[in-house]
Structure 1
Amino acid sequence: MEAQPVDPAAIGMLLNRAHRLARAHANDAARPTGIELQHAGVLTAVRAGGVRSQRELGAALGVDKSTLVRIVDDLEHRNLVRRQRSASDRRAYEIVITEEGERRLDEAGDLFAEAVAGLLKVFDDADQRRLHELLTRFVAQES
Protein backbone atom coordinates (compact mmCIF):
# COMPACT_ATOMS: atom_id res chain seq x y z
CA MET A 1 0.00 0.00 0.00
CA GLU A 2 1.33 3.43 -0.99
CA ALA A 3 1.93 6.08 1.62
CA GLN A 4 -0.51 8.97 1.45
CA PRO A 5 0.94 12.33 0.39
CA VAL A 6 1.46 14.80 3.20
CA ASP A 7 -0.82 17.83 3.18
CA PRO A 8 1.40 20.92 2.60
CA ALA A 9 -0.97 23.00 4.74
CA ALA A 10 -0.46 20.59 7.64
CA ILE A 11 3.33 20.94 7.28
CA GLY A 12 2.98 24.73 7.23
CA MET A 13 0.89 24.69 10.38
CA LEU A 14 3.38 22.38 12.12
CA LEU A 15 6.28 24.65 11.14
CA ASN A 16 4.38 27.60 12.60
CA ARG A 17 3.63 25.74 15.83
CA ALA A 18 7.26 24.57 16.09
CA HIS A 19 8.45 28.16 15.64
CA ARG A 20 6.07 29.48 18.30
CA LEU A 21 7.04 26.68 20.72
CA ALA A 22 10.79 27.23 20.28
CA ARG A 23 10.44 31.03 20.48
CA ALA A 24 8.33 30.85 23.65
CA HIS A 25 10.72 28.44 25.39
CA ALA A 26 13.79 30.45 24.38
CA ASN A 27 12.24 33.77 25.44
CA ASP A 28 11.07 32.30 28.77
CA ALA A 29 14.53 30.87 29.46
CA ALA A 30 16.30 34.17 28.73
CA ARG A 31 13.77 36.36 30.54
CA PRO A 32 16.23 37.11 33.42
CA THR A 33 18.57 38.77 30.90
CA GLY A 34 15.85 41.00 29.47
CA ILE A 35 16.74 39.76 25.99
CA GLU A 36 14.24 38.14 23.64
CA LEU A 37 15.05 36.45 20.34
CA GLN A 38 14.10 39.59 18.39
CA HIS A 39 16.58 41.58 20.48
CA ALA A 40 19.24 38.90 20.06
CA GLY A 41 18.90 38.98 16.28
CA VAL A 42 19.54 42.72 16.18
CA LEU A 43 22.36 42.60 18.74
CA THR A 44 24.04 39.69 16.95
CA ALA A 45 23.91 41.47 13.58
CA VAL A 46 25.30 44.67 15.10
CA ARG A 47 28.07 42.81 16.91
CA ALA A 48 29.04 40.93 13.73
CA GLY A 49 29.77 44.26 12.03
CA GLY A 50 29.33 45.15 8.40
CA VAL A 51 25.78 46.31 9.06
CA ARG A 52 25.88 49.71 10.65
CA SER A 53 22.87 51.85 9.74
CA GLN A 54 19.29 51.13 10.75
CA ARG A 55 18.40 50.81 7.06
CA GLU A 56 21.15 48.23 6.44
CA LEU A 57 20.22 46.41 9.63
CA GLY A 58 16.56 46.15 8.64
CA ALA A 59 17.49 44.86 5.18
CA ALA A 60 19.94 42.30 6.59
CA LEU A 61 17.40 40.97 9.08
CA GLY A 62 14.35 41.21 6.84
CA VAL A 63 12.62 43.43 9.40
CA ASP A 64 10.40 46.34 8.37
CA LYS A 65 11.45 49.85 9.33
CA SER A 66 8.83 50.49 12.01
CA THR A 67 9.47 47.16 13.77
CA LEU A 68 13.21 47.71 13.70
CA VAL A 69 12.90 51.24 15.10
CA ARG A 70 10.77 49.87 17.96
CA ILE A 71 13.34 47.14 18.72
CA VAL A 72 16.32 49.52 18.53
CA ASP A 73 14.49 52.08 20.69
CA ASP A 74 13.89 49.35 23.27
CA LEU A 75 17.53 48.21 23.16
CA GLU A 76 18.74 51.80 23.43
CA HIS A 77 16.44 52.46 26.39
CA ARG A 78 18.01 49.43 28.12
CA ASN A 79 21.54 50.69 27.32
CA LEU A 80 22.26 47.66 25.14
CA VAL A 81 22.93 49.68 21.97
CA ARG A 82 23.52 53.32 21.19
CA ARG A 83 22.86 55.35 18.07
CA GLN A 84 25.65 57.54 16.81
CA ARG A 85 26.01 59.70 13.73
CA SER A 86 27.70 57.93 10.86
CA ALA A 87 31.14 59.29 10.07
CA SER A 88 30.57 58.63 6.36
CA ASP A 89 26.97 59.93 6.11
CA ARG A 90 25.93 62.59 8.61
CA ARG A 91 22.24 61.98 7.76
CA ALA A 92 22.44 58.37 8.95
CA TYR A 93 22.81 56.82 12.37
CA GLU A 94 24.94 53.81 13.14
CA ILE A 95 23.84 51.28 15.73
CA VAL A 96 26.62 50.24 18.12
CA ILE A 97 26.38 47.50 20.74
CA THR A 98 27.38 48.53 24.27
CA GLU A 99 29.45 46.50 26.71
CA GLU A 100 26.25 45.75 28.61
CA GLY A 101 24.65 44.62 25.36
CA GLU A 102 27.59 42.29 24.70
CA ARG A 103 27.38 40.78 28.18
CA ARG A 104 23.61 40.28 28.16
CA LEU A 105 23.64 38.85 24.62
CA ASP A 106 26.21 36.25 25.69
CA GLU A 107 24.10 35.31 28.73
CA ALA A 108 20.91 35.12 26.68
CA GLY A 109 22.62 33.07 23.96
CA ASP A 110 23.56 30.39 26.46
CA LEU A 111 20.02 30.31 27.83
CA PHE A 112 18.47 30.19 24.34
CA ALA A 113 20.70 27.24 23.45
CA GLU A 114 19.79 25.35 26.63
CA ALA A 115 16.07 25.92 26.04
CA VAL A 116 16.14 24.67 22.46
CA ALA A 117 18.38 21.74 23.39
CA GLY A 118 15.74 20.75 25.93
CA LEU A 119 13.05 20.80 23.25
CA LEU A 120 15.20 18.77 20.87
CA LYS A 121 15.62 15.93 23.39
CA VAL A 122 12.61 14.25 21.76
CA PHE A 123 15.03 13.46 18.89
CA ASP A 124 18.18 11.35 19.02
CA ASP A 125 21.43 12.79 17.61
CA ALA A 126 20.82 11.39 14.12
CA ASP A 127 17.31 12.86 14.03
CA GLN A 128 18.65 16.24 15.17
CA ARG A 129 21.26 16.22 12.41
CA ARG A 130 18.57 15.25 9.86
CA LEU A 131 16.22 17.97 11.11
CA HIS A 132 19.03 20.51 10.80
CA GLU A 133 19.80 19.33 7.28
CA LEU A 134 16.14 19.49 6.20
CA LEU A 135 15.55 22.93 7.71
CA THR A 136 18.78 24.25 6.18
CA ARG A 137 17.61 23.11 2.75
CA PHE A 138 14.16 24.54 3.37
CA VAL A 139 15.35 28.04 4.33
CA ALA A 140 17.96 28.09 1.55
CA GLN A 141 15.06 28.82 -0.82
CA GLU A 142 14.94 32.29 0.73
CA SER A 143 18.15 33.40 -0.99
Structure 2
Amino acid sequence: METQPVDPATLGLLMFRAHQLARARANQAARPTGIELQHAGVLTAIQAGQVRSQRELGAALGIDKSTLVRIVDDLERRHLLKRRRAPHDRRAYEIVITEEGERRLQEASESFRGAMRELLEVLDVRQQHQLHELLARFVAQTPT
Protein backbone atom coordinates (compact mmCIF):
# COMPACT_ATOMS: atom_id res chain seq x y z
CA MET A 1 0.00 0.00 0.00
CA GLU A 2 1.41 3.36 -1.07
CA THR A 3 1.66 6.15 1.49
CA GLN A 4 -0.39 9.19 0.55
CA PRO A 5 1.24 12.63 0.68
CA VAL A 6 0.47 14.78 3.68
CA ASP A 7 -2.08 17.53 3.09
CA PRO A 8 0.04 20.72 3.29
CA ALA A 9 -2.84 22.72 4.77
CA THR A 10 -3.37 20.18 7.54
CA LEU A 11 0.36 20.03 8.28
CA GLY A 12 0.57 23.82 8.32
CA LEU A 13 -2.31 24.00 10.79
CA LEU A 14 -0.65 21.39 13.02
CA MET A 15 2.62 23.35 12.98
CA PHE A 16 0.73 26.52 13.88
CA ARG A 17 -1.08 24.77 16.75
CA ALA A 18 2.21 23.28 17.99
CA HIS A 19 3.73 26.78 17.98
CA GLN A 20 0.75 28.21 19.87
CA LEU A 21 0.86 25.42 22.45
CA ALA A 22 4.62 25.67 23.01
CA ARG A 23 4.53 29.47 23.23
CA ALA A 24 1.60 29.50 25.65
CA ARG A 25 3.18 26.88 27.94
CA ALA A 26 6.58 28.57 27.88
CA ASN A 27 5.11 32.00 28.62
CA GLN A 28 2.96 30.59 31.40
CA ALA A 29 5.93 28.82 33.00
CA ALA A 30 8.09 31.96 32.86
CA ARG A 31 5.36 34.38 33.98
CA PRO A 32 6.95 34.86 37.46
CA THR A 33 10.12 36.18 35.77
CA GLY A 34 8.22 38.76 33.71
CA ILE A 35 9.92 37.46 30.55
CA GLU A 36 8.00 36.10 27.58
CA LEU A 37 9.50 34.27 24.62
CA GLN A 38 9.53 37.43 22.50
CA HIS A 39 11.51 39.20 25.25
CA ALA A 40 13.85 36.25 25.59
CA GLY A 41 14.59 36.24 21.86
CA VAL A 42 15.58 39.90 21.95
CA LEU A 43 17.61 39.60 25.15
CA THR A 44 19.38 36.45 23.94
CA ALA A 45 20.40 38.06 20.65
CA ILE A 46 21.76 41.10 22.50
CA GLN A 47 23.52 38.97 25.12
CA ALA A 48 25.20 36.88 22.42
CA GLY A 49 26.80 40.06 21.08
CA GLN A 50 25.74 39.33 17.52
CA VAL A 51 23.83 42.59 17.18
CA ARG A 52 24.43 46.08 18.45
CA SER A 53 21.79 48.33 16.91
CA GLN A 54 18.02 48.09 16.87
CA ARG A 55 18.15 47.80 13.06
CA GLU A 56 20.54 44.81 13.27
CA LEU A 57 18.37 43.26 15.97
CA GLY A 58 15.22 43.48 13.87
CA ALA A 59 16.96 41.99 10.84
CA ALA A 60 18.50 39.16 12.87
CA LEU A 61 15.20 38.19 14.49
CA GLY A 62 12.89 38.93 11.57
CA ILE A 63 10.82 41.33 13.66
CA ASP A 64 9.20 44.34 12.03
CA LYS A 65 10.33 47.77 13.21
CA SER A 66 7.17 48.80 15.11
CA THR A 67 6.94 45.51 17.01
CA LEU A 68 10.63 45.64 17.87
CA VAL A 69 10.38 49.23 19.13
CA ARG A 70 7.50 48.19 21.41
CA ILE A 71 9.49 45.23 22.79
CA VAL A 72 12.70 47.24 23.28
CA ASP A 73 10.79 50.11 24.93
CA ASP A 74 9.13 47.63 27.30
CA LEU A 75 12.43 45.95 28.20
CA GLU A 76 14.12 49.31 28.71
CA ARG A 77 11.28 50.52 30.96
CA ARG A 78 11.81 47.42 33.10
CA HIS A 79 15.59 48.01 33.21
CA LEU A 80 16.37 44.74 31.41
CA LEU A 81 18.22 46.48 28.60
CA LYS A 82 19.40 49.98 27.85
CA ARG A 83 20.10 52.11 24.85
CA ARG A 84 23.30 54.11 24.75
CA ARG A 85 25.04 56.22 22.15
CA ALA A 86 27.25 54.16 19.87
CA PRO A 87 30.89 55.19 20.34
CA HIS A 88 31.60 54.92 16.60
CA ASP A 89 28.50 56.90 15.50
CA ARG A 90 26.94 59.47 17.83
CA ARG A 91 23.72 59.42 15.76
CA ALA A 92 23.19 55.72 16.43
CA TYR A 93 22.28 53.83 19.59
CA GLU A 94 23.59 50.51 20.82
CA ILE A 95 21.36 48.20 22.78
CA VAL A 96 22.92 46.35 25.72
CA ILE A 97 21.49 43.91 28.22
CA THR A 98 21.66 44.93 31.89
CA GLU A 99 22.73 42.71 34.78
CA GLU A 100 19.08 42.46 35.82
CA GLY A 101 18.20 41.49 32.24
CA GLU A 102 20.81 38.73 32.28
CA ARG A 103 19.56 37.41 35.62
CA ARG A 104 15.91 37.39 34.57
CA LEU A 105 16.73 35.86 31.18
CA GLN A 106 18.53 33.00 32.94
CA GLU A 107 15.51 32.39 35.19
CA ALA A 108 13.11 32.52 32.25
CA SER A 109 15.29 30.16 30.19
CA GLU A 110 15.11 27.56 32.95
CA SER A 111 11.32 27.92 33.02
CA PHE A 112 11.11 27.61 29.22
CA ARG A 113 13.20 24.41 29.30
CA GLY A 114 10.97 22.91 31.96
CA ALA A 115 7.82 23.69 29.98
CA MET A 116 9.29 22.18 26.81
CA ARG A 117 10.44 19.05 28.69
CA GLU A 118 6.84 18.55 29.84
CA LEU A 119 5.46 19.01 26.34
CA LEU A 120 8.00 16.59 24.88
CA GLU A 121 7.08 13.83 27.35
CA VAL A 122 4.61 12.48 24.77
CA LEU A 123 7.65 11.45 22.67
CA ASP A 124 10.42 9.04 23.56
CA VAL A 125 14.04 10.23 23.33
CA ARG A 126 14.51 8.85 19.80
CA GLN A 127 11.36 10.65 18.62
CA GLN A 128 12.50 13.88 20.30
CA HIS A 129 15.78 13.69 18.37
CA GLN A 130 13.91 12.93 15.16
CA LEU A 131 11.56 15.89 15.71
CA HIS A 132 14.55 18.13 16.37
CA GLU A 133 16.30 16.97 13.21
CA LEU A 134 13.20 17.43 11.05
CA LEU A 135 12.43 20.89 12.43
CA ALA A 136 16.07 21.97 12.02
CA ARG A 137 15.99 20.91 8.37
CA PHE A 138 12.65 22.63 7.87
CA VAL A 139 13.73 26.00 9.29
CA ALA A 140 17.14 25.87 7.57
CA GLN A 141 15.49 26.48 4.22
CA THR A 142 16.48 29.72 2.54
CA PRO A 143 13.46 32.04 2.44
CA THR A 144 12.35 33.04 -1.03
Q: Which bin holds the TM-score, normalised by the shorter protein?
A: over 0.9
For 1:60, the aligned partner's letter is: A
- Residues 3 and 50 of structure 1: is their aligned pair in 2 closer, same or farther, counting only changes over 3 Å? closer
For 2:83, the aligned partner's letter is: R
- CA apart distance, 1:17: 0.3
Partner residue of 2:55?
Answer: 55
Partner residue of 1:76?
Answer: 76
Q: Secondary structure in 2 aligned to 1:96?
A: strand
Map 1:88-107 → 2, pairs under 5 A:
88-107=88-107
Q: Percent identity?
A: 72
The CA RMSD measured in Å over matched residues stands at 0.8
Map 1:1-143 → 2, pairs under 5 A:
1-142=1-142
Q: Please give the TM-score of this superposition, normalised by the length of structure 1.
A: 0.98
Q: Secondary structure in 2 aligned to 1:18?
A: helix
Distance 2:2 2:99 in 1: 58
- CA apart distance, 1:54: 0.3
Which segments of 5 or more consecutive residues in structure 1 lack a partner in the other structure?
A: none
Q: Secondary structure in 2 aligned to 1:123?
A: coil
Q: Secondary structure in 1 aligned to 2:14?
A: helix
Distance 2:26 2:110 in 1: 10
- CA apart distance, 1:50: 2.8
For 1:69, the aligned partner's letter is: V
Q: State the aligned residue count.
A: 143
Distance 1:62 1:92 in 2: 20
Which segments of 5 or more consecutive residues in structure 2 lack a partner in the other structure?
A: none
